[in-house]
Amino acid sequence: MHVKLKRKFGQNFLIDKNVSYKIGDLIDNINLNILEIGPGDGKLTERIIEKKPRNLDLVEIDKDLIIDLNNSFRKYKFINIINEDILKLNLDRKYDLVISNLPYNLSSKVLEKLVLLNENPKIMILMFQKEFAERLLSKNLNSINSLANCFFKIKFQFNVSKNCFKPVPKVESSILKFEKLKNSLLNKSEIQSFIKFKRYIFSHKRKSLRNVLKKYNLDDSDKLNLRAEKLDLSDLIDIFRKVKL
């Protein structure tokens, strides 16, 4: 498939077959309902097909790529190709698995959308810029991982060299696997308030929680002397529930 890359879409196509096979090997079941975001030239899609999905939705924003994807995969009745911006698309289907090499400039927004779906996917296999992945995996809390870890257990899988892509990006990448928690740490009614809360406290991340939240009548807990990043997630949620922004 020969395509003209478009900088506005942040396109970097995976050209290393070994990496695409390694990603495919992370899919440990057949007959799954799968969403692939940004299939690009379809190299990873070919590996997904080998796992015999029950249904495979491909969401691609680039109209030129849609033509090639239709030509490549029209014979597969279980594949549904959607020409849409993933951030604008209403994802109302329940997915067993979401898989993607996410454009670096959209990682945070797409991840938040996936995490906040009414029906969380059971598994997500996502590629990120290595630095972004490290923030998700960090033992210190931050605005990104404090939300994702409320719904998923995040596991590092492997790093991917920048030389595995065309064009070659300036950064290395990492593959992470997200496994849905049996019980989410937040109730649905709390989610939007928690997002507002964590954005607020992490915008003052160099201050102690006591200073950040001094206008609230909180218990005199030693944990308030800590910065938010040094808390356990359960303690952060406990403080959030006491504040009730």
What pLDDT shows up at residue 9? 47
Residues 237 and 163 in one domain: no
Q: Which domain holds residue 231?
A: 188-243
Residues 123 and 164 in one domain: yes
Inform me whether the pLDDT recorded for 122 exceeds 80: yes
Residues 53 and 151 in one domain: yes
pLDDT in tens, 79-106: 999 999 999 999 989 999 999 988 788 8
Number of structural domains, the chain? 2
31-45, 145-159, 212-226, range with the lowest pLDDT: 212-226
Residues 99 and 127 in one domain: yes
Residues 233 and 206 in one domain: yes
- Residue 92: inside a domain: yes
What pLDDT shows up at residue 186? 96
For residues 209 and 226, the answer to whether their CB atoms sit within 8 Å is yes
Please classify residue 116 by burial: count the beta carbons closer than 10 Å to its beta carbon, then call 0-12 exposed, 13-18 middle and 19+ buried: middle
What pLDDT shows up at residue 218? 85
Residues 87 and 69 in one domain: yes
pLDDT in tens, 154-208: 999 999 999 999 889 889 999 999 999 999 999 999 999 999 999 999 999 889 9
Residues 69 and 106 in one domain: yes
Strand order in the sheet with 152-160: 79-83, 55-60, 33-37, 97-101, 123-129, 173-180, 152-160
Which of 160, 180, 200 represents a domain boundary (last residue)?
A: 180
Which of 154, 180, 206 represents a domain boundary (last residue)?
A: 180
Residues 134 and 69 in one domain: yes
Q: Could you tell me what percent of the chain has a pLDDT over 70?
A: 95
Mean pLDDT for 111-124 is 95
Q: Where are the beta strands (DSSP E) in 116-237?
A: 123-129, 152-160, 165-166, 173-180
- Residue 2: inside a domain: no
What pLDDT shows up at residue 229? 95
Closest by CA to 221, choosing from 237, 209, 233, is 209
Please classify residue 243 by burial: count the beta carbons closer than 10 Å to its beta carbon, then call 0-12 exposed, 13-18 middle and 19+ buried: middle
Residues 124 and 201 in one domain: no
Residues 144 and 171 in one domain: yes
Residues 109 and 29 in one domain: yes
Please report, for the domain that includes residue 134, its CATH number: 3.40.50.150
Closest by CA to 65, choosing from 146, 9, 130, is 9
- Residue 1: inside a domain: no
Mean pLDDT for 212-223 is 86
Inform me whether the pLDDT recorded for 147 exceeds 90: yes
